[in-house]
């Protein structure tokens, strides 16, 4: 692997990693407030992809849309992804998890429900929209913008990176600086006491799902823009992003970002070193290694009562 190749792959890795980071935040937020691995989050991501596909198909931009039109299309598709993702996450919490929570069901029950919901949703999407992959319509001419250390960056990559960075900064501010963020942190630390202090737990949990869902939905759009939309597109990015959340330290928002970047870079660098076919193994090998030496992840667990 030459140096220029290395830079190419590194840039690709950062791109992919930023996407994983955004998805991982959804996992980590929900884990923070519910101590639940929300396996259905990968379906929130998938629904984000479908949301942007549906809206773009309805608009039907035709060939070669103008630059201004392209900006509008990207914005609309991104918002559609966010809307579908948020709505799916909200519905999931309301229909599947809330009845369990009211009953105080054990965590095993939660996990199995999450798996069942994930199964149901992605197979339903496959049934409704067909099971073959489909690309988003062209929204812009994907030119190279500039190059960093010999690696060309095109519009799609720039869009992906900037959207991910903006979302990560926004979320970090939201969790650490706003009143809602304070409520989320309070519920994560001790739901019972937070409730006694006047925090509306149901509302906070619901909002946490929606925030994670919006991020996941936008990530779904970005992923679909890079690759294609498919009913099972959420599976591999989903479990890799969850692994990223664990690697960074579950419940820890900055940890999820770090873990996402780390796994994205590892995965892309696996391609030139060991071959394309091993790329999806890399994330899990890193996960197992990290857990062996740092059982609570690189930055350590935060938020939840877990210690």
For position 165 contacting other proteins by CB under 8 A, the verdict is: no
Q: 223-232 burial string, b = 16+ CB within 10 Å, else e? A: bbbeeebbbb
Gyration radius of the chain over CA positions: 19
Report DSSP letters for 135-156, one per residue: PPPP-S---EEEEETTEEEEHH
- Residue from the set 19, 37, 77, 263 that interacts with other proteins by CB under 8 A: 37
Alpha carbon of residue 59 to chain centroid: 26
For position 16 contacting other proteins by CB under 8 A, the verdict is: no
Residue 12 or 186 having the CB closest to other proteins = 186
Least distance in Å: CB of 132 to other proteins? Answer: 4
How many other C-beta atoms are found inside a 10 Å radius of the C-beta of residue 73?
21
How many other C-beta atoms are found inside a 10 Å radius of the C-beta of residue 71?
13
- Residue from the set 10, 201, 226, 271 that interacts with other proteins by CB under 8 A: 201
Distance CA 291, CA 307 (A): 15
**The CA-based dihedral angle spanning residues 150, 267, 295, 110, taken in that order and rounded to the nearest 10 degrees:** 130
Site for other proteins in 62-121 (CB under 8 A): 96, 99-113, 115-121
How many other C-beta atoms are found inside a 10 Å radius of the C-beta of residue 91?
16
Least distance in Å: CB of 265 to other proteins? Answer: 18
Residue 57 or 154 having the CB closest to other proteins = 57
The stretch near other proteins (CB under 8 A) out of 81-89, 130-138, 141-149, 209-217 is: 130-138
Pattern of binders to other proteins over 276-295, x per CB under 8 A?
Answer: -xx-xx-xxx-xx--xx--x
Tokens 């989320």 correspond to: 184
| β-pair partners for 147 | 152
For position 127 contacting other proteins by CB under 8 A, the verdict is: yes
Least distance in Å: CB of 106 to other proteins? Answer: 4
- Which residues lie closer than 8 Å to 86 by C-beta, 6 or more apart? 210, 211, 213, 214, 217
Count of chain residues binding other proteins (CB under 8 A): 67
Residue 149 or 281 having the CB closest to other proteins = 281
Residue 68 or 275 having the CB closest to other proteins = 275
Which residues make up the interface to other proteins (CB under 8 A)? Answer: 33-37, 53-54, 57, 96, 99-113, 115-121, 123-124, 126-134, 190-192, 195, 201, 205, 239, 242-243, 246, 275, 277-278, 280-281, 283-285, 287-288, 291-292, 295, 305-306
């Amino acid at each position: 692997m030459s140096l220029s190749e290395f830079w190419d792959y590194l840039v690709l890795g950062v791109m992919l990693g930023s996407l994983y980071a955004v998805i991982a935040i959804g996992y980590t937020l929900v884990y923070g407030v519910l101590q639940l691995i929300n396996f259905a989050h990968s379906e929130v991501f998938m629904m984000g992809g479908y949301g942007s596909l549906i809206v773009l198909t309805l608009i039907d931009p035709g060939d070669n849309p103008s630059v201004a039109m392209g900006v509008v299309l990207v914005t609309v598709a991104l918002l559609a992804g966010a809307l579908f993702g948020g709505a799916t996450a909200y519905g999931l919490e309301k229909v599947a998890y809330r009845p369990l929570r009211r009953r105080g069901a054990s965590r095993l029950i939660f996990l199995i429900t999450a798996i069942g919901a994930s199964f149901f949703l992605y197979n339903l999407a496959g049934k409704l929209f067909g099971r073959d992959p489909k690309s988003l319509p062209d929204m812009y001419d994907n030119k190279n913008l500039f190059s960093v250390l010999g690696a060309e960056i095109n519009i799609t990559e720039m869009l992906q990176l900037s959207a991910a960075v903006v979302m990560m900064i926004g979320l970090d501010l939201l969790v650490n600086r706003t009143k809602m963020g304070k409520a989320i942190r309070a519920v994560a630390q001790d739901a019972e006491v937070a409730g006694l202090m006047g925090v509306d737990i149901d509302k906070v949990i619901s909002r946490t799902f929606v925030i994670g869902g919006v991020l996941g939905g936008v990530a779904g759009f970005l992923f679909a823009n890079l690759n294609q939309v498919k009913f099972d597109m959420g599976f591999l990015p989903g479990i890799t992003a969850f692994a990223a959340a664990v690697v960074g330290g579950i419940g820890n928002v900055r940890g999820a970002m770090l873990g996402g970047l780390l796994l994205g870079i590892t995965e892309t660098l696996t391609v030139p070193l060991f071959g394309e076919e091993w790329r999806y193994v890399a994330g899990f090998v890193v996960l197992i290694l990290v857990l062996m030496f740092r059982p609570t992840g690189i930055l350590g667990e935060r938020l939840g009562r877990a210690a």
